[in-house]
């Protein structure tokens, strides 16, 4: 447990723990990428970009609150948990209170998206409802995405091409193919964050019958997949920089390649340690790589 219960346990602090700030980069990064590409296209729309960011963060917080609640109710979170603090399991928030907080946060996400729906039309309505539905389905019941081993795919889709494409679309009201391709970068790194959790929690998930890909195919597969996701995301901008499918070359779009040295240690740690507690810092490390990827790619795309 990374946060000590002997420290400040004020309500604000507890809800901040439950929001899991280290994972929020997965919501912010695709909005940065979509907005950066809209700026380059001369289609930047500040109000839409801001509301897309607010909605993305609220959905991510809602996901985290729902996971905190659902994993406790379903028995996936126990006293033996070695991951970051889960406030429901720790007794800091009652399960029913966490359930209501989840509904409230998703409600705020819907409100923040109303203008975007008016501006972007039915495609944005579909994307918004699908995003919230996938967030709830992630850990809801015996046939949840996590239980079926489909969470990785949905994380890639909704935190990658859908989030980047949706952010660009609400500003430009169009969707060129290169935006979807660029979305694969944040998608792959979001999978990497999920894999840190799943490799760390493989023993607990197995007991709780949570059939993640790591539970199904073993820890080694999770370790290899983590490395492939991180390296693949860093290599992707180099492909876009070459100007595939008739697009003009953009050499500076390959700036995220500069993050390769930063990725070496997390990949080594994932491959070398079997101590679950030593994997906790990789959540923050992988989240930083994701945010830096988004910043560097957005800058490079506009140079």
What pLDDT does 280 receive?
86
- The alpha carbon of residue 29 and the mean position of all alpha carbons in its chain are separated, in whole angstroms, by 9
Q: How many CA atoms lie within 13 A of 169 on its CB side?
A: 23
CATH of 11-302, one of 1.10.287, 1.10.730, 1.20.950, 1.10.600: 1.10.600
200-203: Cβ within 8 A, 24+ apart: 200/82, 200/83, 200/276, 200/279, 200/280, 201/76, 201/81, 201/82, 201/83, 201/276, 203/276
Q: CA geometry: angle at 87 spanning 86 and 93, to 5°? A: 155
Least confident stretch, 74-83, 142-151, 228-237: 74-83
User: Is residue 108 pLDDT above 60, yes or no?
Assistant: yes
Q: What are residue 227's phi and psi, to 5 degrees?
A: -60, -40
The CA R_g of the chain, rounded to the nearest whole Å, is 19
Backbone conformation region of residue 43, classed left if phi is above 0, alpha if psi is from -120 to 50, else beta: alpha
User: Is residue 34 pLDDT above 70, yes or no?
Assistant: yes
- Average pLDDT (123-139) is 84
The model's pLDDT over 266-287, given as tens digits with 9 standing for 90+, comes to 999 999 988 888 888 898 899 9
* DSSP per-residue codes, the chain: --S-TTS---HHHHHHHHH-GGGTHHHHHHHHHHHHHHHHTT---HHHHHHHHHHHHHHHHHHHHHHHHHHHHTT-S-TT--SS--TTTTTSS-HHHHHHHHHHHHHHHHHHTHHHHHHH-HHHHHHHHHHHHHHHHTSSSTT-HHHHT-HHHHHHHHHTHHHHHHHHHHHHS---HHHHHHTHHHHHHHHHHHHHHHHHTHHHHHHTT---HHHHH-HHHHHHHHHHHHHHHHHHHHHHHT-GGGPPP-GGGGGGGGGHHHHHHHHHHHHH---GGGGHHHHHHHHHHHHHHHHHHHHHHH-
% of the chain beyond a pLDDT of 90: 50
What pLDDT does 254 receive?
92
Matching residue, tokens 């073993």: 218
Higher pLDDT, 268 or 139: 268
Q: How many CA atoms lie within 13 A of 112 on its CB side?
A: 20
Higher pLDDT, 100 or 136: 100
User: Is residue 298 pLDDT above 90, yes or no?
Assistant: yes
Residue 126 CB: number of other CB atoms within 10 A? 12
User: Is residue 123 pLDDT above 70, yes or no?
Assistant: yes
Burial (CB count <10 Å: 0-12, 13-18, 19+), residue 272: exposed
User: Is residue 167 pLDDT above 90, yes or no?
Assistant: yes
What pLDDT does 2 receive?
43
| Confidence band, pLDDT 50/70/90 cuts, at residue 211 | confident
What the block records as the tokens of 138 is 């992630």
The model's pLDDT over 38-58, given as tens digits with 9 standing for 90+, comes to 999 999 999 999 999 999 999
């Amino acid at each position: 447990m990374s946060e000590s219960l002997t420290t400040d346990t004020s309500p604000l602090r507890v809800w901040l723990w439950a929001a899991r700030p280290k994972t929020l980069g997965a919501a912010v990064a695709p909005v940065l990428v979509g907005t950066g590409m809209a700026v380059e296209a001369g289609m930047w729309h500040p109000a839409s970009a801001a509301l897309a960011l607010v909605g993305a963060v609220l959905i991510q917080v809602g996901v985290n609150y729902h996971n905190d609640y659902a994993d406790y109710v379903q028995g996936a979170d126990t006293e033996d948990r070695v991951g970051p603090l889960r406030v429901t399991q720790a007794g800091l928030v009652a399960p029913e209170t966490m359930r209501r907080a989840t509904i409230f946060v998703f409600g705020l996400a819907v409100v923040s998206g109303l203008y975007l729906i008016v501006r972007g039309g039915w495609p944005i309505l579909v994307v918004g409802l699908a995003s919230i539905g996938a967030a709830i389905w992630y850990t809801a019941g015996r046939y949840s995405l996590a239980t079926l081993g489909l969470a990785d795919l949905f994380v890639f889709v909704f935190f990658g091409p859908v989030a980047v494409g949706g952010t660009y679309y609400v500003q430009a009201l169009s969707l060129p193919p290169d935006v979807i391709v660029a979305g694969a970068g944040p998608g792959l790194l979001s999978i990497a964050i999920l894999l840190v959790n799943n490799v760390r929690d493989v023993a607990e998930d197995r007991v709780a019958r949570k059939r993640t890909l790591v539970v199904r195919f073993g820890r080694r597969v999770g370790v290899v997949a983590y490395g492939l996701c991180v390296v693949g995301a860093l290599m992707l901008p180099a492909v876009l920089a070459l100007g595939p499918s008739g697009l003009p070359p953009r050499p500076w779009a390959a700036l995220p390649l500069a993050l390769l040295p930063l990725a070496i240690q997390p990949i080594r740690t994932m491959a070398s340690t079997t101590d679950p507690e030593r994997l906790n810092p990789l959540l923050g490390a992988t989240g930083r790589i994701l945010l830096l990827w988004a910043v560097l790619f957005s800058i490079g795309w506009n140079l």
